[in-house]
Every structure is written in C-alpha cells, then in structure tokens.
Amino acid sequence: MNQTPHERLRLLLGESIPAGKTDADTMFSNEEVDDFLETGSTVEAAAWHGWMAKMANYANLVTVNEGNAMRELTELHKAAKRMVDLYAGFAPTSGRGRAVIGDIRRQRSSR
C-alpha cells in the first residue's frame, strides 16, 4: 500500500480520516495537514509540528472528577509531549543544533 505524504502524516498524528467520514471528523483539516507538510522538511518533521499543535490543544484540558467517574484529560497533554519529544530530532528549532567550537589564538605583540 503506497501512502501519500498527507496520509502518512495523518497516520503519524493519529488523525486518519475514518471510512465514510471527512477531515471535519479529525482534529486537523486537510489544509492544516498540508501546512504541516509545507513547514516540515520531511514527513517526520511535519509530525513534530502537528504534535506541537496537538499539545497546544490539550494544554487547557484538566482532569475531571464527577462522582465515581474520573477523566484524566491531562494525560492527553503528557502523551502529546512525549510524541513531540519523539519527533524533536527531525525538525530544526531555534536553540538546537551543533555547537561551533573554534580556536582562540592570541596575537603576539612585537616589542
């Protein structure tokens, strides 16, 4: 089965479009997925951008206790953070990269 980059990215984000449904039935529209693909240099880099967006969406969710029922919605944010960390090496970000090490040489003064 050959997947398009769009389909592969949706798979990596856990946002595949259900059979008989549309992109409206997922967290991201097709345009948003296309934007992640344009922003990232690879599908994996695009996945980093997508998981960052998911993490932002989950940031405001809280754990809910209602009687005997409890929903751990904060776990969604933690899981998204783990996925961001997983794909972090694929997307260039500010502050990350190789350190440049050079030699410092003093000029000798002539006396």
Q: Is residue 60 part of a domain?
A: yes
Residue 54 has pLDDT above 70, yes or no: yes
Q: Is residue 24 part of a domain?
A: yes
Apex 29 CA angle, 55 and 51, nearest 5 = 20
Q: Is residue 111 part of a domain?
A: no
pLDDT, one tens digit per residue, over 68-109 is: 877 778 888 899 999 999 998 888 765 555 556 777 777 777
What is the extent of the structural domain holding 72? 5-90
Q: Which residues contact 38 (CB under 8 A, 6 or more apart)?
A: none
Q: Is residue 27 part of a domain?
A: yes
**Other Cβ atoms closer than 10 A to 93:** 9
Q: Is there a contact between 8 and 38 (Cβ–Cβ < 8 Å)? A: no
Q: Is residue 12 part of a domain?
A: yes
Residue 34 has pLDDT above 70, yes or no: yes
Q: Is residue 53 part of a domain?
A: yes
Q: For residues 12 and 45, what is the distance between their CA atoms, to the nearest angstrom?
A: 11
When divided into structural domains, the chain yields a total of 1
Q: Is residue 106 part of a domain?
A: no
Amino acid identity, position 97: G
